[in-house]
Amino acid sequence: MPVALFWHRRDLRRHDNAGLAAALQSGLPVLPLFIYDTDILDHLPRPHDARLTFIHDQVEGLARETAAAGGTFLAYYGRPAEVFAQLLAQLDVAAVFTNEDYEPCATRRDEAVAQLCQARGVAFHALKDQVIFAKTEVLTKSGTAHRAFGPYRDAWLAALRPEHLRPYPSAELFRAPHLGQWPAAPARPTLAQMGFKRCEQYVPASELPAEQLVRGYHTTRDQLGLAVDSSTRRSVHLRFGTLSVRELMQQAQTLNPKLLAELIWRDYFMMLFWRYPQLPEESFEPRLRGVAFRNDETEFRCWCEGRTGYPLIDAGMRELNQTGYLPNRARIAAASFLVKHLLIDWRWGERYFAERLLDYDLALNVGNWQWVAGTGVVAAPWFRVFSPDSQLKQFDPTGEYVRRWLPELGTAAYPPPMVEHKFARERALAAFKAAYHALPA
């Protein structure tokens, strides 16, 4: 009997899922599928990776939900094109549904699978799900990508209609006869079979954040010392799609425009990435591709380990290393310090964040690193150099945050600043200025 496959990737949920709803409405029995992609997993540090443990838990949860609804959930460990070649040979697949993924590697992966399907006469449908507006949906009047965020946000808001935030009925349709069964389906891979061990890192639940938090978000989001969450802490769930961005957008739209604006940044970076897939490799502004970074490896290790002698930077890096999370304000301070104070290539910092952040997202990470570095994304000025001490006074005035992560602060065990702020600022400005003026505009 012909079936449809629904391929989960960054959308590990049953509810409000555009591609899953389309599959369940196709009239074909649907077999949901997840592939532990060896092209990605082979780059993760074995045996512990909190993100893989999180994904595995979600996939197993989806498999239980599918079984309870009378269907079969498939999970494989391998290269997607090879897994699909095998599946198309074993099953009578009439269509494959999935949700769009805008990262360069993902785009190439999907093209390969779409071509394979096409060659076998199988329809391949990719739907927009993880953003509200994708690709070329919000452009300038002359049809180019917005270089500044403000005009992009205004155009985004002007284009928004109620239907853009309306949930898809995937959870309602997730039952017989819309689900398929395959009694001979192979066993789903365990973490151990993939060479990993369980990693117990705390990740907040995927529900919508409390109304009170969202209402006060604009006043709390930059306060590092708060004992309670100052921002939504939903980035991991948006990254893996355990929370639908439409749900959070709707809540933000009703309760807090500042939160809505932050979520629009997410759409913005994903759009930029789709348009400029070379962004992870090079600075957006050609005149800043030649900055003479110092790239001192010992200084880089001090930064990674939180031993710079600047409490705000060190507290942030210790929090990141211990928890896999870092508040936005601390991300900005740490990134700026690495690029400007130490004159280390933003790509080194981007890679380190990629290893550590539970919410790591290529588009958001690279976009934000280039924004902080001032290398041309969002037209942020390259000559802005944050002072770590002024930032500390502003965002952690009582010192609560730095004391939480630096128990040795105030003792002889805490190191002196590794570089003097004024000297570092002038050195950075000279390096950026030299590169900027070396090429014509």
Ligand X SMILES: Cc1cc2nc3c(=O)[nH]c(=O)nc-3n(C[C@H](O)[C@H](O)[C@H](O)COP(=O)(O)OP(=O)(O)OC[C@H]3O[C@@H](n4cnc5c(N)ncnc54)[C@H](O)[C@@H]3O)c2cc1C
Give residues in contact with ligand X (CB under 6 A): 221, 231-235, 238-239, 262-263, 265-266, 269, 327-328, 331-332, 335, 353, 357, 359-361, 364-365, 368-369, 372
Cβ closest to ligand X, residue 285 vs residue 361: 361
User: Please, what is the minimum distance in Å from the beta carbon of residue 331 to ligand X?
Assistant: 4
Show the 3-state SS of 288-303.
HCCCCCCCCHHHHHHH
User: Please, what is the minimum distance in Å from the beta carbon of residue 360 to ligand X?
Assistant: 4
Structure tokens at 303: 């930064």
Cβ closest to ligand X, residue 231 vs residue 375: 231
Contacts of residue 61, defined as CB under 8 A and 6 or more positions apart, other chains included, come to none
User: Please, what is the minimum distance in Å from the beta carbon of residue 295 to ligand X?
Assistant: 18
| Residue pair 102/109 in contact by the 8 Å Cβ criterion | no
Cβ closest to ligand X, residue 79 vs residue 233: 233
User: Please, what is the minimum distance in Å from the beta carbon of residue 93 to ligand X?
Assistant: 34
State the Cα torsion 398-403-404-405 to the nearest 10°. 130
Structure tokens at 118: 């096409």
Cβ closest to ligand X, residue 83 vs residue 203: 203
Query: In this structure, which amino acid lies at residue 273?
Result: F
Cβ closest to ligand X, residue 57 vs residue 262: 262
User: Please, what is the minimum distance in Å from the beta carbon of residue 436 to ligand X?
Assistant: 21
In whole angstroms, what separates CA 331 from the centre of its chain? 14
User: Please, what is the minimum distance in Å from the beta carbon of residue 240 to ligand X?
Assistant: 11
What residues does 3 pair with on adjacent strands? 93
User: Please, what is the minimum distance in Å from the beta carbon of residue 242 to ligand X?
Assistant: 12
Angle at CA 335, nearest 5°, toward 271 and 55?
60
Cβ closest to ligand X, residue 97 vs residue 133: 133
Omega cis (within 30) before 177: yes
248: helix, strand or coil: helix
Cβ closest to ligand X, residue 235 vs residue 375: 235
Cβ closest to ligand X, residue 270 vs residue 302: 270
User: Please, what is the minimum distance in Å from the beta carbon of residue 311 to ligand X?
Assistant: 19
d(CA 377, CA 152): 13
Structure tokens at 116: 């394979």
